Chains A and B, each alone.
Chain A
């Protein structure tokens, strides 16, 4: 074993190796980077498609994608490039294909706030108790996908449950505890 490696070589043959290879340096940033088409870079969220469902947030291992609620009736999908691990799991799980992968890697900056991307969603309010429960877009998405839920889709989970229980009571005389 290791027979080829035992060959005696003169230290000078380094110069032959160097001579035959020449200079291999890629002159980036003046030339193209040494990159393949398969590279996973930063993600791009399409604001016209995103419904703010939070599937990507649940899949994201480092919490680079977060869904933050504010008191002003909005829900913000926050993408922090500085924590992203570029695994593209969010792309796998997005139900509407709103997330696209790019080959972008030139992300250096001197200000950490440059690394945030915010997508602000308006929140839908429950038709009964008026408390916010999901983004307007998500409500519409659910309504168009399964029209049979129409009666419930405009309520938050709590009111929905109450209404459902009531409906069953009316029809079957109630659920036993």
Chain B
């Protein structure tokens, strides 16, 4: 199926008014009644995946709300963005939840934060705190940011259950390390249902738009979406702005980005292996994996200036170069890691209890994985070959040759194996890229970001595909939407935990490598309160 075929098939759907191709995506504008047929065509007939949807308050521009549904045809390396308008007085759009189950959360998020109703499904509150007043939508441009709701000291959401058939996991629970709340409904020792009540880490960064965040400053918040895979977020953000503004990043900067991204992946996967060993009562495994990981952390500090929160990215390039002595050090550390981690990993999976508990537990079948558009190692452990580094190559990945490990069992052991294999691939990628790194500048200083350009960018984080969507504004983003990988993977937990022993629940929850601070970010920067007329066209260039 060629690009023109795709465009032809999309144009043939009634209600599609505009199809525009650009560098970062295929942009479609459609009427509300064309949304469902379009979703069906792209998601099921063309075999596309669902990335996310983003609501936007464009009343100051065209007197409408708008929803952007972002799809991806992975095998063609193509993003498809579908824009539909909703009325400014009574914003309402048809839900595509029954066609694309993966759209559940982002629709509810748009409902919470923008007040856009979705017809044909049951709505519920997802993101905002429990006591938040109805009808107040913080992402609307007319929302007055200075009013913090009164802080409540008692919670209605957390009620300690009085029957022992419910086991609350969280919000402060040693198996989670992050404040999230799962309610597991159990029968004996068997889980029969799961309820996720998250969004404790909703930090509402919209407020920052008001404090006049500039394009460059947003980089540092993007990094703080997540403390484990922050560099992926800041890279993705930098890329989406660069793509919107047409900035040509120096090759050397792209190499440095790829190298640091892979180093972050190694540290993140080692961290995860350690946590899993700890959850299985194998504390020595935890200690020794983290001992190996410590080398990576020191290496990251050497390259970027900080063990975490590298602060390396700027729009237009990176801030620190990799010189010869650092290059030598990278090779040294990688040699230590590759030797030690294989020894340790094979030990961990040989421990009888560990092996017994990983195998066959928390299974996610391929069909469910496809239905929910899960990403990253979770998808690859369920037989889906999805990897942004291969599908939509960014930074310097086109210069490296590497495998995408795929396992078919969909159980916790597969997810472990995927990650163990990926550590090896990452080590090889870093080595290849270091050898090919071209000389030259590491950033461009002078650039301008035009207003009203729409762009999409994706980066493969350790947990899966990370998507940033932007509408540029004056001096800072007009609308910035982030879809972290865990956001896409948590709904799959329902399938993985059901009918499983309670004892496996923490392990299975951990097996998607959840990063709740990513999920809850709701990172939408709005340069609110500025009256302007803005021509909202697709990123034509």
Chain A residues with CB under 8 Å of chain B are 1-2, 4-11, 13-14, 17-18, 21, 24, 34-36, 38-40, 58-59, 61, 63, 85-89, 92
Contacts and interface: CB of A to CB of B under 8 A. Distances in A.
Given A18-B284, A18-B288, 9 more contacts: A2-B405, A2-B421, A5-B349, A9-B346, A61-B221, A85-B311, A88-B305, A89-B216, A89-B220
B302 A36 contact: yes
Contacts of A59: 216-217
Interface string B502-529: 0000000000000000000000000000
A99 to B, nearest CB: 15
B302 A11 contact: no
Interface in B266-321: 284, 288, 291, 294, 298, 301-306, 309, 311, 319-320
Contacts of A92: 319
B324 interface: no
Contacts of B298: 34, 36
Contacts of A10: 350
B211, B343, B345, B403: residue with the most chain A Cβ atoms closer than 10 Å = B343
Contacts of B352: 11
Contacts of A5: 342, 345-346, 349, 417, 420-421
A6 B305 contact: no
Contacts of A36: 298, 301-302
B61 interface: no
B211, B221, B342, B346: residue with the most chain A Cβ atoms closer than 10 Å = B346
A118 B403 CA distance: 54
Interface string B152-196: 000000000000000000000000000000000000000000000
A12 to B, nearest CB: 10
A14 B305 contact: no
Contact of B288 (A17, A39, A61, A63): A17
A125 to B, nearest CB: 28
B213 interface: yes
Contacts of B420: 2, 5
Given A1-B405, A61-B221, A87-B220, A17 B347 contact: yes
Contacts of A40: 305-306, 311
Q: Interface on chain B toward A: helix, strand, loop, or mixed SS?
A: helix
A100 B302 CA distance: 19
B344 interface: yes
Contact of A9 (B291, B350, B417, B421): B350
Interface residues of B, number: 38
A100 to B, nearest CB: 14
B345 to A, nearest CB: 5
A47 to B, nearest CB: 25
A9 B347 contact: yes
A38 B350 contact: no
A62 B305 CA distance: 19
Given A2-B405, A2-B421, A14-B347, A39 B306 contact: yes
A38 B405 contact: no
A21 to B, nearest CB: 7
A17 B341 CA distance: 11
B475 to A, nearest CB: 11
B540 interface: no
Contacts of B302: 36, 38
22 contacts: A1-B405, A2-B417, A5-B345, A5-B349, A8-B346, A9-B346, A9-B350, A13-B347, A18-B284, A35-B301, A36-B298, A38-B302, A38-B304, A38-B305, A58-B214, A63-B211, A85-B224, A85-B311, A86-B306, A87-B220, A87-B311, A88-B311
B303 to A, nearest CB: 7
B350 A8 contact: yes
Contacts of B136: none
B314 to A, nearest CB: 9
Nearest to A9: B350
B403 A1 contact: yes
A8, A35, A38: residue with the most chain B Cβ atoms closer than 10 Å = A38
